[in-house]
Chains A and B, each alone.
Chain A
Amino acid sequence: MSVLSLDKLVPDYVKKFEPYIPSKPDPELMKLYGCKRLYRLNNNENPLGPPAAALEELSRFKPTGAAIYPSGDSYYLRQKLAALYGLDPDQFLVGNGANEVITFVIKAFCQEGDNIITADKTFAVYEWVAEFSGIEARLVPLKEFTFDDQGMLARADERTKVFFICNPNNPTGTYWDETRLRRFLDAVAGRQIVVMDEAYFEFVEKDDYPDGIKLLREYPNLIVFRTFSKMYGLAGLRIGYLAGDLKVVDIVRRTCVVYSVNTLAQDAAVAALDDEGHIWRTRRLIRAGKTYLKKELDRLGLENRSGEGCYMMVKLPMSDTLAYRKLMTLGVMIRSMTGFRYPNWIRVSIGAHEAMEAFASALKKILR
């Protein structure tokens, strides 16, 4: 038998890195925790599911088509996005979820010794991808639950390649308005790439919330992320995209994996974009869910935050990971926030009313 010398094969930054352990499939979890039903309120999925038009498109899919490779560059989807936003189709790059395009951007711009700048308490994947690629992630503490523009600018040096800003921020729900974003972009002045992750764009109803895609013409160093996983309810199909200046996207395209987005996902996404009604219905449900939940949480005397996005944060008088275990036994799955560096907070996705009631009642039980 040959001896595997992993020690020599593996780069140090990979050795240090801990693989992400996704939660087990629902049936396994239900068996483990002994619950008959499980409300999934941990991943910010859309309780209404995909838009009707996408469902119809999915049901039209012929299973024999599974033998055929998808469009390698999501041709029709990019055409559609281009028409929708008045941009060139080549300004879009579609990935296997927005998560994949995070990887593309870091690979395209960073090499050993470079760094990226993001916040300490935000979506973890920017930091993770950087670290397991051997790139330093500089984490600037949030200020008042919000990305700290001045703090981020102050941490930049000549090896800083990318700023990652989650707008609105997952998990705090705060956002930079257009003035603040423009001020930041003006200060960066094209020296670095600025990524605005707008995964929750379609949920925001505030007038001063900026549409990153509209700013691309003025700021060629801006890259905008969007996903079909949240508002469009296609998380299981894995599809998201980035939009940017032609020259920038041309660079990022060199590091991207072609054929990583499957046919079903592409077709469903094209159809989903036509369904305006779905967005209104979802927003209405989220609004109602937040109002209900806020009342319940206030009544329980629990500090909570509901900003933009389809989720809320709740501070508990106990360890969040203990709360996770207790809530699981009652059939409610939430996100514990130790991993977001918010110990004793949980994040709960806004779901249908029944799920919100189940969550509120379970919470009451575990606090007794």
Chain B
Amino acid sequence: MGDRTPARVSLKIYLDRRFLRMVTSFAEDSAKAFGLAEPEALKLTLACEEIFAYLCGAGHTDEEIAVEAENGGYYVRLKFLFKAQQFNLRALNLTSTVSSGDASSLEEMGLLIASKFVEGFHFAEDLQHGPGLVLIKEKAYPAPAGTELPEIGPVKDFHIASPGPENLKLFARLVAAHYPDHLYIESFRLPGKVVDMVASGEYGVKLAVGEQGQIAGGIVWRRLGAGTIESFGPYLFNQRADLGLSEELIASCIGQIARTDAIGLICRYPTPELPGGYFESLGTINLVRQAGVTMPQPVYYRELREDPGCRVWAHPDLEDFLRAEYSRLFFTRDIHLARHEGEQRPPHSIFAPQFDRANRQITLRAIWDGADAAANLAQHVKILSAEDLPNIFFEIDLACAWQAALTPALLNNGFSPRLVLPYGGRADVVVFQHRGGE
């Protein structure tokens, strides 16, 4: 099929269990057409089956949803798009169960199961198309052949360049050889994958190239959320610190993103080569990597624009934290207090998960407020702790008064505020971490 393969295919279908086979064939065939090998295609199909069956249980048979498969280069993305009013969105809580009519699976949580088959699983609220569930299954790549890596000595002169595929692969292998695992993206162990990641446009890489064409170092970045870019590195291979390689690599990364819609650059995996003076420290989170091993993860940030200031909502219980952070970081914010004062709330809250199973991590965001928020949160924590996801985060967007008002529910459930991510959402985002991870 070669170049004629479309990048995206879609299926419109009714939420009716009788169509299950049609949906799973759709998922499997498109997964294979888009380049997933048999085992990965099967996993994506299984995840798809779980989700469709689950949605059937939660919705009505006369409702149409769309399933979309998309070739992302190094992954296949499957999206389930529906209309908010189609079923009780409460079913989107990871903790909810639906009856499949089959007593044995009554207690099974379809979304949680589906999330285990894939690398990425999240809820997307798309203003154009309504809400959707997104599954991402990455392609399998061979481990690099054991070829020798070139010995790289200190360069005298260098220039910054965008790498071609071969240099990119060499760079990936050099990073994996010179740096500990926790300082680079896991995929860098698979050079072929790195080439596809960059080709997809989702990742950017710049290299510092020495006078003889040798790769002296590099920097990597990707889009993290709406206005935030994340950088990795800078990585240097046996280079002197006084040549300015790190500074030039950071500058080249910033040069690439400075005139885009990005508002902030975040760095969560700083190498020792990260030059001082380019970033501000937002704080630290603690990550459980293996049982009993917790590593502090500093979070660095720099704004890419002149801060226009903004208005944020805060619960009184979070006010001191916010004022201290804003004053430490020189962010001017007009803080308005928000709290529940006995007014009626919708009965059921909805929290949307974003899984990062490779890092044993999950981030929850509230998409709907409800009087049961505290109980719902407790239920989430209980289930996730049993799921080998010790790193549980909850993000609230201070643009929304009702999200700010969730603060007591979070504090009472063992969460504490770790950092403020400026403009991480519609306004600043506060990242809470569950104490399980400490």
- Cβ B307 vs Cβ A338 within 8 A: no
Closest to A34 in B: B332
Collect the chain A residues with CB atoms within 8 Å of residue B255's CB. 120, 341, 343
Contact partners of B128 in chain A: CB under 8 A: 5-7
In the complex, which residue of chain A has the Cβ closest to the Cβ of B227?
A: A18
> Distance (Å) between the CB of A184 and the closest chain B CB?
24
Give 1 or 0 for each of A7-39: 1 = CB within 8 Å of chain B CB. 100000000001001011000010011100000
> Which residues, 244 to 271 on B, are CB-close (under 8 Å) to A?
250-251, 254-255, 258-261
Contact status B260-A319, CB under 8 Å? no
Closest-by-CB residue of A relative to B307 is A325
Cα A18 to Cα B258 with chains together (Å): 11
- Determine whether B280 belongs to the interface, using a CB cutoff of 8 Å to chain A: yes
- Chain A: minimal CB distance from B207 (Å): 16
Is the CB–CB distance between B330 and A325 below 8 Å?
Answer: yes
Interface presence of A329 (CB below 8 A): yes
CB <8 Å contact, A319 and B277: yes
A196 CB to closest chain B CB, in angstroms?
Answer: 22
| A33-B302 in contact (CB<8A) | no
- Interface residue? B278 (CB, 8 A): yes
Check: B306 CB closer than 8 A to any chain A CB: yes
Tell me whether chain B's interface is mostly helix, strand or loop, or mixed: loop
A321's partner among B251, B277, B307, B334 (CB-CB below 8 A) is: B307
Bound-state CA distance A120–B255 (Å) is 8
CA distance A5 to B260 in the complex (A): 24
Instruction: Assess whether B306 is in contact with A318, with CB atoms less than 8 Å apart.
Output: no
A339 touching B259 by the CB < 8 A rule?
Answer: yes
Interface presence of B133 (CB below 8 A): no
Chain B residues with CB under 8 A of A322: 280, 302-303, 329-330
Asked whether, in the complex, the Cβ of B259 is within 8 Å of the Cβ of A127, the reply is yes
| Cβ contacts under 8 Å, B329 to chain A | 322, 325
**How far apart are the CA atoms of A24 and B277 in the complex, in Å?**
27
B280 close to A339 (CB less than 8 A): no
Hey, which chain A residues are within 8 Å of B251, CB to CB? 341-343
Q: B250 near A319 (CB under 8 angstroms)?
A: no
Known: A23-B306, A33-B332, A325-B303. 8 other contacts (CB 8 A): A6-B128, A7-B128, A34-B332, A317-B277, A319-B279, A322-B329, A338-B254, A343-B302
- A-B CB contact pairs (8 Å), 28 listed: A7-B128, A18-B259, A21-B305, A23-B308, A29-B309, A32-B334, A33-B309, A127-B259, A128-B259, A317-B276, A319-B279, A319-B280, A322-B303, A322-B330, A324-B306, A325-B307, A325-B331, A328-B332, A329-B330, A329-B332, A336-B305, A338-B302, A338-B304, A339-B304, A340-B258, A341-B254, A343-B278, A344-B278
7 nearest A-B pairs in the assembled complex, by CB-CB distance:
A18-B261, A321-B303, A32-B309, A341-B255, A325-B330, A343-B254, A32-B332
